[in-house]
Each structure stands twice: as structure tokens, then as C-alpha cells.
Structure 1
Amino acid sequence: MAPQRWVRLAVEKPTRALYVLGTELSLDLSGSAPLGATSFDIWGTAGVKLYIVHDGEALKIPSCVPRWPLETNLEAIVTMDTPSVRANSDKVRISYYKDNGKEPLGQALLHLTCVEISLDVDTSRSGTVNRKAKNKREWTWGPEGKGAILLVNCDRDYLGAKDTDNQDKKVESHADLKDMSLMVLTTCGPEEAFDDYQLVLHVSASDHDKVGVFHAKGGKKLHQYKHILGSGKLSYSVEHDGFQEKNFYVEGLAFPDVDFSGLVSFHVTLLDNSSEGLPDIPIFNDTVVFRMSPWIMTPNTLQPVSVYICSIKSNADFVATVSKLVVKAGCRLVICPEQENRGDRWIQDEMEIGYVQAPHKGFPVVFDSPRNGMLKDFPFKGVLGPDFGYVKREPANKKTVSSLDSFGNLEVSPPVTVRGKQYPLGRILIGSYFPSLQGNNMVKVVRDFLYAQKVQLPVELYSDWLVVGHVDEFLTFVPAPNRKGFRLLLASPSACYKLLKQKEQEGYGDALMFEGVKKSKEISIRKLLSDQALRNNNNYYQQCIDWNRDVLKEELGLTEEDVIDIPQLFKRSAPSGKAVAYFPDLVNMLVLWKYLGIPKPFGPMIHEQCCLEEEVRRLLEPLGLSCTFIDDFETYHEKLGEVHCGTNVRRKPFSFKWWNSIP
């Protein structure tokens, strides 16, 4: 339904009104009628369309009847199709009569000027602005959805800047403009028609800190882009300068969060300021809605682009092996040198690399964890840059930060369908203390942020049974050519005991684990199997993993055929009683397409082959995966981490567009 405006008329003198294309004027028939009038007729010039509405019926009846009875249930509607060439050039006349009188008792005259005012954005999500689109005030999800999209302008295109681009109030480079969304204000009509009116572009007080708007005031020089809205600026008066199209560039300042839905609205309002000394009167409003792009995580099934790793004094061999794997996968290796990492090797824990996306542009965004180890400056100083954004969430009380806030405790599944509900971008997985009544949990500001992104609804798992407490210690995903396109790998003490018992029964009970490993005592299969305390502990750890197995099957729509049990043992750590990996944790691997960098387990050697490695190959190589076992024992495993903990991966975005999902 077109916006409608009530217009009061008078028989004493002509009434002047501004008509805006796409609206309707509803004329006050009774209010201007002379005393004793019982009927009326209505006439308009060629540029005016007149309708009579009877009893509020949706059907409009053309005014072809000579006279109409003056009844309260009649309404006259005026529309126009083309902006006026001159002010007040179109007219409507209403003549009032008494009974069957021939001469009118009086006439009300309306002088009209038709103008066009339209605020337009990319509502169709095609990458270009849609002119005069309908339903601009609404934003809807799905393939048939409508509504414009904003990027949080959190990269740093100008290398001389000290912060992200959305922290300033200026355009430092033309590349910066490409991260913004175009908003066009179109006005057309006689310039003099606006003499008693003012156009104001404005944003609500609740949104001013979420967006920034720059007005392109002619030319292409950067200083001509004026910051007009956002960061405390709520309104901007549009100058009267011919009212041609005006381009505005809109940037996002904030990601969706617990106190921000991600939706922002802009309004252009036409104000009548003809009453001197009195407040302006709004007579027309046009509104557009944007949704901020969420931060999106990428699962192991997406193609790797870059691998990040820290170089420290003791891990040259580890870096060299990972480098060879990176070459095989056809991606790039980024090494954080020791002067930057200051001995902090846990680059997976420090950050998670995702992305943002709009129809016209997208770029990766690093999420900086609140752990703040010696690597705390690397995401901002070493990753943030041109077309590479940055976001961080920290609690007010930094003492509440625990190991569960490191991003080894933040993973994402591949796309899944659960009970008919599609998650085309997968679901985020985070570890917490549930189901125990006491323990650690990921800090609220991070959890709130992850939930607020909507498109990858988180699943909370139980990870606090581990000393470090990260989900990547007992699960990972690998690509697979069939079924759902992936397999879930779960660490399994039961599978490990089954394998070792089988080897003992085959006569290899004396085969040694940790053979040749410095600082680690060798132990035979037979002796390991006879350690009842270790067995009891692993029975408990298996129960913890099985709890998560059930949750994952339920929340990701998996069956047993989608899960592969990877042999793994854990040991109890004093004094907490929580678990650490007994031998290098096989599921804590680096996944680069089909190439897997797996911690070398140093399992029992049988026929010059580690039986644990052989079992992993048997399980994974039929899926087309290539297994490379990497020695991380001294440099990572003994410090309670593995290959995945010591690496990080930037991956290509999903081909699926997030706005086509239905959260």
C-alpha cells in the first residue's frame, strides 16, 4: 500500500501541496465544505489522477460521476506519475453544491507540484543499487529474501593508519570506499518547489555507533568525502543544489552482538519549514534497512589459502615439515618470527580466521581471542591489513579468562542438515563445563558474540574434563568424497585398547611404545594393558567423549557411519585429575584439503611400522586422504599441545552466500 498523506483544503484561498511520487494524497472533502453543501464534483488537470474511495473499499472508483453526495464515507485520492516541470502547475478543484443547485456554493482549489524523492540501496543483493524498490523497510532471509548488506569496515587499507578503517571518520584511500555500501538519494522536480522544505538524512540514536556515512560531494578526491552520519552524528541536512542524485557511502562499525541485532535503518525525511518560528513538520519519509554481515568461520572441508605458524628456537624441524605439507596443498606459509611471538607457539589459541561478505565485496577477518599470551599483538600487528579485518572481544574482568577462551576451543562443523533444518555454513562448536556443576566456561562476551552471528548456531560441548579443555583435543573434521562430504574424527580410548589388545593377541605384547623418544619412558603393550588405573581413567574419559558423541550426532544430524574413532589414550594429571594426551593426540591435526599433518604418536613398532600410524592410515586413506605424521613430541606434546595447536589456517569462503540461509 502506498504511503498516504491527509491534505486539508479551504474555499477561502488555494492550498499548495508537494506531492511525492509513489504516495497518495487523501483530500479532506468534508472539512472544507461550505455550510449547507450536500454534494460535490471534482476535477483535475491532465497530470493528475483522481479516485473516489467508497466505504474504505480497496477498489478505487474513477471519478467519472458528475456529482457525488457529500458523505463521510467518501474519500478523494490524488496520485501523479511524473515530476512537475514547474511549481504549482497541476491543479485539483472541488466544487460544492446544495441539493440540485447549478451554481457552486464554493470551490476549494489545490495547487500541486510533483517531485521525486527516493533513498535506494542494493535491496536485491546483486551488487548494484536498485532504484525505487519496494519493501525497502524490510530485511528478509533466504534465496527470495530482500534487503541491503553492510560490511564491518574492520580492515586497514591505508598502511599509515594506526587502527582499523572503521575507527576513523575519514576516507583514507579509494580501496576503503570499496568496503562500503552505496546508498543513493534521488530527487527530481522544480528546484523552487523545495524553497519551503528541507530534506534530512538521519539515523536513529540507537544506531549511530553502529554505522558511518560519507557524502561524496563531487569529484573523486578523498578530501571531498565528508563524514555526515554516525559516531554521534544523527542527522544531515541535504543541501539545495539542483537535487540531482547524491551518493552516500555506508560503512559498518560494529558486528552483531548480544545488544545489537545487526539491523540498521536510514531515513530521508522531507520537512515543511514554511511556518516561521515553529518546528518543522514532516510530510514524507523514505526508509532503507541494512543488515551487518556476520563473522563467519570456515571448516576443514574448505580449501586452505594460508597456513600460519610460529618459529621458535626448538621447532625448526617442525616448521620444515609443515612447510613441505603446505607446498603439497598449494597454499602459502606465513611464519611469525620469534621476535614477534616471544616464545609463544600456540598460534591456534591466539586467533581464529573467518570472513565477512556482502554482494559487492568480502574479505577475511581475524578474531583475536582474549587469552592474551605473548602472541597477543600478532593478530593486530601481523594479520590486520588491506582487505584483512580484525575483531576482538574481551571481558571487563580479565581475571575471568581461562584456557577455555583460547581458540583451540573454537571449531566449526561442515554444512549439515538436522531434522530437516539446514545449516549451510555449518555450526560452531565450543567447549564448556557442562554437564558438571562447577568448572570453567568460555567467557560470556565471546559466547554472546558467536551466538549473535546467527548463521552458524553454536553447539556447546563438554571439554572441561581436559586440563587444557579444548574441543580440538578430542575431535576434528576431515573431507570425504561421499555421504555428507566429511567425517567426524573422535579420539577413542576404547578403539586404542581394542587395537593394542589385538596386537598383544597376535604376539606383539613386548612391542614398545615411545621407543627412541627422549625424556619418555618406553613401555610395552603388555605392561600398558595391565595398568588398571590408566584403564579406569580412560574408561571415564571415554564416557566424556561419548557424551559429546551423542550431542554431536543430535545437533549435527550425524549417524555412526559419519563418525570415525581414532585410537587415543589420555592420562590423569595431578592435582586436577583432568586429562592430558598420553601420547601425541592424533585428532589434533592440521587439515589442508586432502593432506593431513598428524602428530606422530610413537606407538608400538611392529614390523618396523608404528601400529597406531598404520591404523590411522587404514581408517583415513580410503577416503582419499594423505597422512603425514609430524614429530611434535618435545616442542608441542610435552607442553600439552599438538600440531593443530601450533598452526592456524585461513581458508576460502563458502560459495554459499550467508544471506540465502534461514537461521
Structure 2
Amino acid sequence: MQQSTMTAKTGWRAKASRFCLTTVVLAAGCDDDTVENRYTYPAVANTPPVAQLLATPLSGRAPLRVYLNAMGSTDPDQDSATLKVRWDFEGDLTWDTELNSANQLYETTYTTPGNYSVRVEVADRAGARSTGTLAEPIRVLDANTPLADLSVDSNRDGAITAMDDEGEESWSSTKGAVVLVNWDDDDGDGDKDNSDTAINGNRDVDDLTHLIVRRIAALDSNHTVTLEVGPSSARPNLRIFNDAGAVVVAPGIGSGTLSNLSLSTDASFYVEGVGGRSESWEGQITLTLRIADASVTVSEDVVAMRIAPVIFPDNAQPSTAIDIMRIQRFANGPNGPFYDATVANLPSGVALRVANEDTYDADRWIQDNMQAGYQAAPSPTGMRILPTYLQTERSFGEGFPAGLESYLPDMLGPDFAFNYPCAEGCYGTSLDYGGNIEVAPTHTGYPLGRLVIGGGDQGTLFGTESWHYHMDETQRSWLNAQGVQAPALEVSSEWLAVGHIDEFFLFVPDYREGAERPWKIIIASTTLALQALQTVYDAGQGQLPVFDGRETETTVAHILANSDLMTYNQLAQARIDAQRVKLSDALGLTAIDFIDVPVIYEEFVDYDYGGTELGVAYNPGITNLLVVDDVFFVPDPEGPRPGGNDVWQAQTTAALAPLGVDIVFVDVFDSYHLLMGEAHCGTNVQGNAYDTPWWQL
């Protein structure tokens, strides 16, 4: 069979608004058999680049060498490094350099005093251009004009050097000084250091931010030098001391005049955080050093700072300390078995802090009065960590025992701080307690984890739609104002009598090598718990006791025959499943990120709230366990024991042991469970700070 050979010739032809492709196909040996196809394709529109520029320093005496930087300019279509740049140094609409990609970094010297509005133009390879102007002019002063120069650790290396000057006027992920809120007590007087007008010893200096006003030459009696705080929302929250410990800027005042005589050499000042972030203030601070002659500004320098947030470690962070109450008096409901097992199995290196039962009215719920957190600031040796607790809203009111209300004030001391957002009053419910505050560990979009709280408007399990409860808005707003772990995710817990999320789920570490993420969510499953009982019943052992030896002892058969209990747990499972979906959607999780553990709930009629039916754990709630590194202190569920093995313990061990942890079942039945709490409720763990500095986010 004869074969023909075809050859193709292709050519592009560009027109103003499109590209044309012409293809000519010639049959070999057949000059008159020609096929010509023409295709027209629209050209892709070129997006102009975006000009950005920086300059440092922004002021100084002539001759002033200034470094210009346009490397922040971007080109959506091409590599930004190929952008060509030219500069107008004086802002006189005359370009002083030619377009060249080598000009993205440029150095020039101003020899004549004046104000110069620097412009830059950037151009891409297609010729599209854009211009930008420096946000504030470069001020070049003559030799006889005083020069304002304010220095802080803006590059966050723990020291103040000339390297801090560039970009010191703006806060970013790489620039800006940090201020701690001075909520600890370094002088041991029982009051927070932020409440007085003194620097409370050398240890207190570590809680302050160092500030240097550089020597100001050529000052005379006509000049005034002021240190000013902005914006106005920052002013109530800062105090500035001079090197002698005198207050030069008081909270709420916003500015202070400095002595000209003191500025003949470099002078140190210290910034104290008096108040923290709030709904009305996210912590931004600018400090301006201003020199004026007869009210006319002749020179100024601005530095950016920010108040540190309070950050709460999650359960996967290494543990540093645990708080627990030892209760020995019979009248108080002793917790000896739980306390002894916890102390005996604590990992090494974890400090134990024991609350006195007499001092604190046998108030065993030490999870609920506080949430462990920290503040962080740069230091020469890394991050300076100030442990800082949230005191939750948990006042019982006049006529009731104070309980743990004074626990944090009693713990106050050097490097132990706390804040009480509701000090001036909140409408408190148990949803404000620490057991209703958890932290989802690091995940996409939340490198320091995300706050998770309970509450909601979904009503009770039996459909009382008017029943809704939330954390007090003052406390919730304060948590969200910290920023880096916000906004807090609210999941439905209003169906529970205590209303805490730790009653049906908890974040725990996963120590397995190769785990997709180093944490899991353990979540209550009524289905799993009841399936275990059904299996025992089907094996002809329905008479086996549950809660053996307790006042509430029952049997497998009796539980399964309780139709009201079965119905209630179907409703509980449906509500829990809905929260599983919400957690999955919000945190980017899949089914393998959840671990089911056996928990049954029962209806509790709360006559303090009009007889509303609410849920409590029927068996000791597994999810309300205590995590201390790789040891899980798990409430003993006290299920039936066919062959001597507790079926609920077996389910729990099978679910949790693969995480690479030791499981210690602890007796909480009389001392916590019957009081509507478990192991987590009766303890509080202080965790390590995250490795990631918050200021890099």
C-alpha cells in the first residue's frame, strides 16, 4: 500500500489584541493539495506591577545617607525580581536614575536640608508601569538642628543596636518591639506590679521594655522634648519610667516632657504594660519622640510596639506543672484514691502544686477557676516567657464559701501572673469556667492552636428551644482580643447540666511515629458504650453489676431495659455527632482524627433552672480525663466485668493505647463523678509555650 508523507509549517503572527496561528499542511509531492488552517487566540491581558518602597533612615542631619528599597514591589504575571526600577530622590517629578532591575536597592546621600518625598517607578517586561511615593518625607536637618532618635529592640534579637533602626516605625511579622503586661508581683507585696508607680526591683526590669533616647545635641532652652503614646486606645494601658524609676508618662495621660539636661547622653527609659488587649484595643502602640521649637516640630522619631497576647497551650504541649487539691476530711468527700494515683504516676519533671482543702473550702474543681497561659517577648536567649493565667468568672456571691476564688491571688509572685477580665462584674454561669475552655492544637491557619468553648442556642435534648446559654460576653471578648488563637469556636454544650465541652470531647496528643497530625480528639460515644453492654447481655450475663459496690450499683439488664435512658442516649449521640461535624469543618479534620470512647448520659432535672432537663454523665466520663505528657489519667468507668475484665475499660484501652501513651485508670466515682465532674475537672495543667513566636504571625 502506498503511503503519503505530510509536512506541516506553522507560524505565529501577533496583532494588537490577539495572536494568530497559521498552519499549512503540504502533501508530499502534491503542490496543489494544500490545507491551510488559521486560528485566532486572544492575548492574555498583562497586569501592571505594584510599586512599594521603604527608606531608612527617615530623618537625620546632612549629609544624610539613605537606603532605598523597592524589593517589596510585586508583579502578578512575572518574577518580581525582574522588575525594572527608577527613582526620583527629591519628589520633583524628575527621574534621577534609569530603569534597571539592579536599582531595586539603591543608596543616595542628601547634602541639603529639607523634606524630600521620594518616588519610585517599577516596570515589567511588557512595559506596564506603576509608581509609588514614600509614606512620609525624608527629613534632612542642618547641623544645628536637634535630631530625635528613639531606639527599641525592633528586630527582636534581644538587644538594641543600629540594626533596629530600619523599619522601626511600622509593626510587621519581622519588625516591632514587644511589651509585656506587668501582671506578676516581683516585690512580693501581694499586689500586681502594674498597680503601682515604681519599678519593683531588678526582676521587674525583665518585665519592662527597654527604650533608649539617643543623645540630642544642639538643644537649647527654646526646645521641648516629649515622649508621646499613640493611638489614644493605647494610652490607658502604658506607663513609662526613666532610668531613675520616675514616671514620665502615666497611664491615660499619653505624653510626658523629658528634661533637656538628661538628654546630653543616651538615656534609658522603660515601658510597662499596665493593661492588656481588649475588645476595644488590639495592642498596637506607637511611641513618638518629638523635638519642638515654640510648638513647631523640628524633628521626630517613631517606633512601633505591641502588647503581648495571653496564649493558652493545648494538651499536646509538654507539661510543666499540675494543680490539684488533696481532700482528706470525711465531711469534705475525700479524694485519696484519685490524688494518690495521680501523684504516683506523674511524669518526672512535672511540678506538683497542691491546694489546701481548708484554705479553699474543699473546692476541688481546680480546672474551673483558671486557664493556664503565658505571655512571650524577645530576649537575648530566646523567648522570655511570663506564665499568665486567666482567672475565669466563678464568683459564688455573698453568703457562699469563696472556694478557689483567692487561689490565683495567693499564687501571685515573681514570674507568676494572672488577669481577671470579669473583675468589674460579669453575669456568671458555669459556662465561664475553665472546663469549658479548650485549645485545638496547631492546624492549618492556626499555628498556635485555636480556642474552643461551649455554649449554644440549640436547646435541650428534648427540644426545649428556649434554653440557650453562652460564655459571658466580657470573658469571651477578652479571649478573642488576644488574637492569635481567635476567634473562639463555640460548640453546643448548653444541653449539659454543667455545660462544659470536656464532658464530651477532649484534645489529646498522638505520639505515634508517622501520625498525620500529632493530636486527636477523643469524643464520647453512647453507641459504643451501649454496644458493649448489649454484647454482655447477649452472652447471657445481663445480671453482671455495673458500678459494683457503689450506692448507685445496677446491672447490665437493668440499664438496657430503661427505655427512657436509651432514648436519651440516642438524642445525646445525635447532638454529639453534630458537634463532631462542626469540629471537622472548622478544624479541617476527617474521621481518622476522632477516637470514640464509651460514655452514657442521663437526664438531670435542674430545679435551679425551672426544672429544665439537662444531661450528665451516667458512667464516669472517659473524655474528662487528665493529660500529663504521655500519661492519661482516665476516669475508671466501672463497667461490667465478664471474665474479670471491665468492658468499658477494654474499649478505652483499645482506643487510646495506640497513641503511645500510658493509661492509668483512676477512681473518681464518689469524689468527683457523683458531684458531676471527673478527673479533668479536678486538676489543672500548665503547659510549655509554643516554639513559634506569636509576633511572627
Q: TM-score of the superposition, structure 2-length normalised?
A: 0.75
Corresponding residue of 2:105: none
Q: Is the 8 A contact 1:347 1:645 kept in 2?
A: yes
Corresponding residue of 2:172: 140
Q: Is the 8 A contact 1:379 1:390 kept in 2?
A: no
Q: Match of 1:345, as an amino acid? A: R
Shift of 1:394: 1.2
2:206 is the counterpart of 1:199: no
Q: Is the 8 A contact 1:52 1:60 kept in 2?
A: no
Q: Match of 1:237, as an amino acid? A: T
Distance in 2 between the 1:52 and 1:445 partners?
A: 51
Q: Match of 1:200, as an amino acid? A: T
**Which of 96, 101, 104 is the aligned partner of 1:59?**
96
Q: Is the 8 A contact 2:395 2:428 kept in 1?
A: no
**Which of 157, 169, 172 is the aligned partner of 2:197?**
169
C-alpha distance 590-53 of structure 1, shift in aligned 2 (>3 A)? closer
Q: Is the 8 A contact 2:525 2:597 kept in 1?
A: yes
Distance in 2 between the 1:22 and 1:295 partners?
A: 41
Please give the secondary structure, in 2, of the residue aligned with 1:299: coil
Q: Is the 8 A contact 2:368 2:433 kept in 1?
A: yes
Q: Is the 8 A contact 1:21 1:115 kept in 2?
A: no
Distance in 1 between the 2:142 and 2:388 partners?
A: 56
Distance in 2 between the 1:376 and 1:440 partners?
A: 24
Corresponding residue of 2:538: 505
Q: Is the 8 A contact 1:21 1:116 kept in 2?
A: no
C-alpha distance 3-299 of structure 1, shift in aligned 2 (>3 A)? closer
Please give the secondary structure, in 2, of the residue aligned with 1:381: helix
2:357 is the counterpart of 1:335: no
C-alpha distance 4-194 of structure 1, shift in aligned 2 (>3 A)? farther
Corresponding residue of 1:285: 300
Corresponding residue of 2:283: 262
Corresponding residue of 2:615: 579
Q: Match of 1:255, as an amino acid? A: G
**Which of 367, 370, 373 is the aligned partner of 1:354?**
373
Distance in 2 between the 1:196 and 1:508 partners?
A: 97
C-alpha distance 232-455 of structure 1, shift in aligned 2 (>3 A)? closer
2:463 is the counterpart of 1:431: no
C-alpha distance 187-600 of structure 1, shift in aligned 2 (>3 A)? same
**Which of 478, 484, 507 is the aligned partner of 1:455?**
484
Corresponding residue of 1:107: none
Q: Match of 2:501, as an amino acid? A: V
Write out per-residue CA displacement over residues 281-309 of structure 1, whole angstroms, 9 at most, x where no aligned residue.
11222111111111111111111111111
Q: Is the 8 A contact 2:146 2:291 kept in 1?
A: no
**Which of 479, 483, 494 is the aligned partner of 2:516?**
483
Corresponding residue of 2:441: 414
Q: How does 1:166-315 map to 2 (within 5 A)?
A: 166-189=194-217, 191=218, 193-204=219-230, 205-216=232-243, 224-241=244-261, 243-273=264-294, 280-312=295-327, 313=329, 314-315=334-335
Distance in 1 between the 2:434 and 2:58 partners?
A: 55
Shift of 1:325: 2.1
Shift of 1:521: 2.8
Write out per-residue CA displacement over residues 512-560 of structure 1, whole angstroms, 9 at most, x where no aligned residue.
211112x21322x233222221111011111111111011111111110
Write out per-residue CA displacement over residues 234-289 of structure 1, whole angstroms, 9 at most, x where no aligned residue.
3222222362111111111111110111111111011013xxxxxx2112221111
C-alpha distance 490-496 of structure 1, shift in aligned 2 (>3 A)? same
Shift of 1:20: 9.8
Distance in 2 between the 1:166 and 1:637 partners?
A: 40
| Segment drifting more, 587-596 vs 117-126 | 117-126
Please give the secondary structure, in 1, of the residue aligned with 2:234: coil
C-alpha distance 115-20 of structure 1, shift in aligned 2 (>3 A)? farther
Q: Match of 1:635, as an amino acid? A: S
2:381 is the counterpart of 1:345: no
Write out per-residue CA displacement over residues 447-475 of structure 1, whole angstroms, 9 at most, x where no aligned residue.
10111111112111110010000011011
Shift of 1:498: 2.1
Q: Is the 8 A contact 1:115 1:187 kept in 2?
A: no
> Which runs of no fewer than 5 residues in structure 2 stay unpaired?
1-53, 68-87, 99-108, 115-140, 397-401, 460-465, 606-610
Distance in 2 between the 1:568 and 1:415 partners?
A: 27
Q: Is the 8 A contact 1:588 1:599 kept in 2?
A: yes
Distance in 1 between the 2:365 and 2:493 partners?
A: 18
Q: Is the 8 A contact 2:498 2:676 kept in 1?
A: yes
Write out per-residue CA displacement over residues 465-523 of structure 1, whole angstroms, 9 at most, x where no aligned residue.
10000011011122112121011000111111222223333443332211112x21322
Shift of 1:337: 0.6
C-alpha distance 430-439 of structure 1, shift in aligned 2 (>3 A)? same
Shift of 1:397: 5.0
**Which of 439, 456, 465 is the aligned partner of 2:495?**
465
Please give the secondary structure, in 2, of the residue aligned with 1:198: strand
Shift of 1:4: 12
Distance in 2 between the 1:350 and 1:325 partners?
A: 25
Distance in 2 between the 1:239 and 1:395 partners?
A: 38
2:375 is the counterpart of 1:379: no
Q: Is the 8 A contact 2:292 2:298 kept in 1?
A: yes
Q: Match of 1:412, as an amino acid? A: V
Shift of 1:58: 5.0
Q: Is the 8 A contact 1:5 1:283 kept in 2?
A: no
Q: Match of 1:371, as an amino acid? A: R
Distance in 2 between the 1:20 and 1:194 partners?
A: 23
| Segment drifting more, 472-481 vs 204-213 | 204-213
Distance in 2 between the 1:414 and 1:4 partners?
A: 41
| RMSD across aligned positions (CA) | 2.7
**Which of 525, 540, 551 is the aligned partner of 1:492?**
525
Q: TM-score of the superposition, structure 1-length normalised?
A: 0.79
Shift of 1:311: 2.3
Please give the secondary structure, in 1, of the residue aligned with 2:413: coil
Identity over aligned pairs, percent: 28
Q: Is the 8 A contact 1:329 1:593 kept in 2?
A: no
Q: Match of 1:166, as an amino acid? A: N
Please give the secondary structure, in 1, of the residue aligned with 2:495: coil
Write out per-residue CA displacement over residues 32-54 of structure 1, whole angstroms, 9 at most, x where no aligned residue.
xxxxxxxxxxxxxxxxxxx9958
Please give the secondary structure, in 1, of the residue aligned with 2:373: strand
Corresponding residue of 1:566: 597
**Which of 608, 615, 629 is the aligned partner of 2:665?**
629
Corresponding residue of 2:127: none
2:153 is the counterpart of 1:153: no
Q: Is the 8 A contact 1:355 1:653 kept in 2?
A: yes
C-alpha distance 652-55 of structure 1, shift in aligned 2 (>3 A)? closer
Distance in 2 between the 1:177 and 1:510 partners?
A: 68
